Amino acid sequence: MERTEKFLILGLTAISGFLLYVSREFKLPAATGYKVGDDLWPKIVLVGLLIMLVSSLVFGWKKQAEVRVREPNASAIRCLVIISMSLVYAYILQYVGFLVLTPLFIGAFAYILGLRKILPLVGLSLLLTASFFFFFRTVLGVPLPLGLWYFKKFSLLFCG
Amino acid sequence: MGLFDGLLIGFGALTSQPLSFLIISAGLAAGIIFGAMPGISSPMAIALLLPFTYGMEAGLALCFLVATYVGTVFGGGITAILFKAPGTPEAAVDTYDGYPMAQKQPERALGIQITCSAIGGICACLIFLFATYYLARWALHFAAPEYFGLGLLGLAAVTSLGVRNQRKAIIACLLGLFLATVGMGQFAGESRFVFGSQYLAAGISYVPAVIGIFAAAEIFKQGYAPSEIVFKKIATKFSALTTGVREVAHHKLTIFKSMLLGTFIGILPGTGSTISSFIAYGEAVRSSKHPEKFGTGVPEGLIAPETANNAASAGTMVPTLALGIPGGSASAVILAAMMIYGLTPGPLIIQLQPKLLYMIFVAMLFSDIVAIIFMLPAIRFFAVALTVPRKVLNPLIILLCITGSFAISNNVADVLVMFAFGVLGYLLERYNYPIAPVVLGIILGPVIERGLTTGLVLMDYNVLAFVSRPITAVLLVMAVAFAASPIVRDILKKRRVTVKEKN
């Protein structure tokens, strides 16, 4: 078993234990007359998960990890940057708005993936953003976020 | 209303909408292109195209998604045969004999693939209609314990058939089941694991979760190790493709057996097309007079998996529509889409939404027929679509993920959930945990929970009383048999090795 996998399983075990502790709160009061409540199923699932995770640790701890063939161009940092960038994008989207944030996000994303020529990079990010904004807002009537403050004023310039 | 009348209604409903057949063809074409691209699986393609259906009428939207599904199964084989790079997991078996054959005669291999896919799909479609109709009518008698048994059977199948490590599959499934418990309880409506969040109070939305776990996870994987497959230009002559088409006629028995196997496996909840293609290939080898030739480019080695995986794609729609229990991960996404449109899959479909069932059937049949006419001359155009580099394609996919998950309820939190599930899917895949059980767990969790809690109340809190109901007993025995099958297989394998060593 790989070291990172061990840490992940240990973390998951701790979280499952905590959630199992939390699940006792979902029990129905005895006065209702029911012997089952909304706590039963989560408890079954979490106990099952705990058993499987612990057995994974017990049986897999000393087991030699499969030799992973390292892919060419593999980079954990690039992957971490993309994941963090995506989470930040999702978090600030409501404040900055789709029209301002998406070309930056797509541009950065394509750059990280290896698109280095400036013209295709800018063209791709602007073209994709504009076509998605038009399609979703005009054709499907989906109100993509416009953002707040100055961002909203800017986005409204393109909303007709 | 009889089945024939129903068919006329389905056909009439589609023809009454002027663009319906064009929309179905567009879904099919998009499915073929996405399916042919390695890394884009059927559920991922359906999830990515889902937002394009938001402006459509519910029935037509489902027809579009079903056509996409048919298209991905067709398309997956193209790259598997020509470049040994299966577009979808179910097409992986095509590389065994399709690729060696394509080295000498690519047109022959493609002709066989397209014809068998269409035959498998069309025949299974007819079985699909009858099976859905009668299964749904029979399932009207099902109560909570039967649904509990069905749900467990689905989970047992997805965690045991075709998985490399059963323990990892069970962990993935339990994760999915847990995630489904977030939000309102199924029995008394108690808020669970919400931690004060208004968003979580309504539960985790299926579609962002599915988009994230399939599509965003693949993008993160590409972020770790970008892969670019160089597609050589293949010159295909239309006249040469017909060689393969004609050859299929000499293998009627293989087609018939694979079609039945594929449909049956597809109907089993939780199995899907991938398992069917492997089993059909195995059966073709077992029953062949020259098994040693398999792997060198024999036609049966391509006919069996291609017929079976297309038959299974129609088969998976049976439990999805008749019982509300997805047949595989692609139909799980279609089931999630049905919920968005406020449609209720399950036994009542025959009574409440008969038109929908027949529309879907006509759309599937139409897609299979159009695919065979359309794909033979269009192969060279699809080959052009495959040359789009990953660094251009991936930003497009990520944008589809963002807009698709946002558009469900115009909520930015859905985008965050989608990315969070993307991270989960990436980590699971990185450490070889299958992701299909997570999705099935999320979708089947509420069904099983309702079945268990309501069933317990009905049975006066006697768990053993579940087994006293014949259908539930059969379903539970099947679930146990599925769950135990990898263990039994391992024991038999070890015993065989020991006997061999002794000899």
pLDDT per residue as tens digits for the range B79-116: 778 777 666 777 777 878 888 887 777 777 888 888 88
Chain B nearest-CA distance from A150, in A, is: 19
What's the pLDDT at B193?
Answer: 87
What's the pLDDT at B235?
Answer: 58
B4 CB near a chain A CB, below 8 Å? Answer: no
- Whether B171 sits inside 8 A of A93 (CB atoms) is no
- Whether A83 sits inside 8 A of B452 (CB atoms) is no
Q: From B180, which residue of chain A is nearest by alpha-carbon distance?
A: A42
What's the pLDDT at B238?
Answer: 61
Distance CA B315, CA B266 (A): 4
Chain A nearest-CA distance from B489, in A, is: 20
Distance CA B119, CA B273 (A): 15
Nearest by CB to A38, which of B52, B178, B190? B190
Choose from A3, A69, A75, A83 for mutation: most chain B CBs within 10 A: A83
**DSSP tag of B51:** G
Is residue A59 exposed (0-12), middle (13-18) or buried (19+ Cβ within 10 Å)?
Answer: exposed
Is the pLDDT at B230 greater than 60? The verdict is no
- Whether A86 sits inside 8 A of B398 (CB atoms) is yes
- Whether A110 sits inside 8 A of B391 (CB atoms) is yes
Domain assignment present for A70: no
User: Domain check: are A91 and A148 in the same one?
Assistant: yes
- Phi, psi values for residue B491, rounded to 5°: -60, -45
A49 CB near a chain B CB, below 8 Å? Answer: yes
Q: Rounded mean pLDDT of B137-149? A: 81
A51 CB near a chain B CB, below 8 Å? Answer: no
Domain assignment present for A51: yes
* Average pLDDT score over chain A: 83
User: DSSP string of B284-339?
Assistant: HHHT-S-GGGTTS--THHHHHHHHHHHHHHHHTHHHHHHHS--SSHHHHHHHHHHH
Nearest by CB to B224, which of A78, A94, A115? A78
Q: Rounded mean pLDDT of B308-334? A: 82
| Structure-derived torsion over alpha carbons of residues B89, B95, B99, B100, reported in degrees to the nearest 10 | 180
What's the pLDDT at B392?
Answer: 77
Q: Tens digit of pLDDT for each residue in B17-41?
A: 878 888 998 899 888 888 777 667 7
| Structure-derived torsion over alpha carbons of residues A85, A87, A88, A90, reported in degrees to the nearest 10 | 120
Is the pLDDT at B340 greater than 60? The verdict is yes
Q: Tens digit of pLDDT for each residue in B243-270?
A: 767 777 888 888 888 888 888 888 777 6
Q: Tens digit of pLDDT for each residue in A37-55?
A: 888 889 999 999 999 999 9
Among B138-152, B170-184, B227-241, B328-342, which range has the highest average pLDDT? B170-184
Is the pLDDT at B1 greater than 60? The verdict is no
B192 CB near a chain A CB, below 8 Å? Answer: yes
What's the pLDDT at A50?
Answer: 94
Is the pLDDT at B178 greater than 90? The verdict is yes
Chain B nearest-CA distance from A103, in A, is: 10
Chain A nearest-CA distance from B78, in A, is: 25
- Phi, psi values for residue B192, rounded to 5°: -125, 135
Chain B residues with beta carbon closer than 8 angstroms to that of A104 = none
User: Domain check: are A88 and A134 in the same one?
Assistant: yes
**Count of domains forming chain A:** 2
Please choose, from the candidates A44, A37, A43, A23, the residue with its C-alpha nearest in 3D space to the C-alpha of residue B456. Answer: A37
Q: Tens digit of pLDDT for each residue in B44-57?
A: 888 888 888 877 88
Residues 100-119 of A with CB under 8 A from B: 102, 106, 109-110, 112-115
Chain B nearest-CA distance from A151, in A, is: 16
- Whether A38 sits inside 8 A of B419 (CB atoms) is no
Distance CA B24, CA B43 (A): 17
Cβ distance B444 to B336 under 8 Å? no
Higher pLDDT pick, B235 / B275: B275
What's the pLDDT at A10?
Answer: 92
Is the pLDDT at B377 greater than 80? The verdict is no
User: Domain check: are A38 and A92 in the same one?
Assistant: no
Q: From B217, which residue of chain A is nearest by alpha-carbon distance?
A: A83
What's the pLDDT at A51?
Answer: 93
What's the pLDDT at B240?
Answer: 62
Distance CA B452, CA B474 (A): 16
B144 CB near a chain A CB, below 8 Å? Answer: no
User: Domain check: are A21 and A53 in the same one?
Assistant: yes
User: The pTM is what?
Assistant: 0.79
User: Domain check: are A53 and A85 in the same one?
Assistant: no
A155 CB near a chain B CB, below 8 Å? Answer: no
What's the pLDDT at B384?
Answer: 62
Q: Rounded mean pLDDT of B336-355? A: 78
Domain map of chain B by residue range?
3-502
- Tokens 């406020």 label which residue? B342
- Tell me the percentage of chain B whose pLDDT exceeds 70: 91
A19 CB near a chain B CB, below 8 Å? Answer: yes
Choose from B171, B197, B393, B401 for mutation: most chain A CBs within 10 A: B171
**Distances, alpha carbon B309 to alpha carbons A67, B276, B306, B382, B428, in Å:** 32, 6, 5, 21, 25
* Average pLDDT score over chain B: 81
Domain assignment present for A81: yes
Domain assignment present for A68: no
Domain assignment present for A66: no
Dihedral class, residue B88 (left if φ above 0, else alpha if ψ from -120 to 50, else beta): beta
Q: From A18, which residue of chain B is nearest by alpha-carbon distance?
A: B193
Chain B nearest-CA distance from A43, in A, is: 9
B462 CB near a chain A CB, below 8 Å? Answer: no
- Whether B391 sits inside 8 A of A41 (CB atoms) is no
- Whether B225 sits inside 8 A of A75 (CB atoms) is yes
Cβ distance B355 to B13 under 8 Å? yes
- Whether A79 sits inside 8 A of B224 (CB atoms) is yes
Distance CA A25, CA A69 (A): 46
Q: How many CB pairs under 8 A join A and B?
A: 180
What's the pLDDT at B227?
Answer: 67
Please choose, from the candidates A30, B344, B51, the residue with its C-alpha nearest in 3D space to the C-alpha of residue B335. Answer: B344
What's the pLDDT at B85?
Answer: 67
Is the pLDDT at B175 greater than 90? The verdict is yes
- Whether A40 sits inside 8 A of B187 (CB atoms) is yes
A99 CB near a chain B CB, below 8 Å? Answer: no
B227 CB near a chain A CB, below 8 Å? Answer: yes
What's the pLDDT at A37?
Answer: 80
Domain that holds residue A52: 3-60
Chain B nearest-CA distance from A11, in A, is: 13
Domain assignment present for A71: no
Choose from A2, A10, A27, A52 for mutation: most chain B CBs within 10 A: A52
Nearest by CB to B178, which of A45, A73, A93? A45
Domain assignment present for A117: yes
- Whether A110 sits inside 8 A of B188 (CB atoms) is no
Stretches in chain A below the pLDDT threshold 70: 64-72, 160
User: Domain check: are A93 and A119 in the same one?
Assistant: yes
